[in-house]
Amino acid sequence: MWIYEKKLQYPVRVSKCDPHMAKLLLEQYGGADGELAAALRYLNQRYSIPDKVIGLLTDIGTEEFAHLEMIATMVYKLTKDATPEMIKAAGLDPHYVNHDNALFYQNADGVPWTAAYIQAKGDPIADLYEDIAAEEKARATYQWLIDMTDDVDLQDGLKFLREREVIHSLRFREAVEILKEDREAKKVF
């Protein structure tokens, strides 16, 4: 179903080694409102959503994997030249001891990702409202991450991701309206 193009959706640049910022970015890598949870949520929900909007969930779920790849690249670039002392000062020493510089699905506090983050009610409108909330929480988190760094190159990539969350939220809102209209339409048998 997918074709992988070996390039990021948007260029990822960082100006400096910053393990502390890398730790904060893990929230979007393996956190409850992060990219992995979003991708899996949408690709799971598409099995119980009407055909009129199934493509939307597939498209956005797939794009969330592209965002996950961008976050992973940011974390890698922010830590690749870090010394063990820098890692420790950033509070990443427990991660380093367990995983070295490898990425692991966890949030900024080191809590491992869990499938409990994925919501699927089976009611299309309820699920879409959940998706809108997920996108708005991700948008807010990206803004707070932007606020936490003075690296303009990193901010550029984070701003791109923040704006994609806005677009996803708008698309899910449109899908809700499509399903509401369909539900309220007079059915003739």
- Residues noted as catalytic: 35, 64, 67, 135, 165, 168
Rg (CA), the chain: 18
Instruction: Establish whether 20 is an annotated binding residue.
Output: no
What the block records as the tokens of 90 is 């950033």
Our measurement of the distance from residue 85's CA atom to the centroid of its chain's CA atoms, rounded to an integer in Å, reads 29
Instruction: Establish whether 67 is an annotated binding residue.
Output: yes
The answer to whether 9 and 70 have CB atoms below 8 angstroms apart is yes
Instruction: Establish whether 177 is an annotated binding residue.
Output: no
Q: How many CB atoms neighbour CB 184 within 10 A?
A: 7
> Helix axis angle, 51-79 relative to 35-45, nearest 10°?
160
Instruction: Establish whether 127 is an annotated binding residue.
Output: no
> Helix axis angle, 124-147 relative to 35-45, nearest 10°?
170
Block residue for tokens 């119980």: 48
Instruction: Establish whether 27 is an annotated binding residue.
Output: no
Name residue 37's amino acid: A
Write out the binding residues for Ca(2+): 59
Write out the binding residues: 35, 59, 64, 67, 135, 168
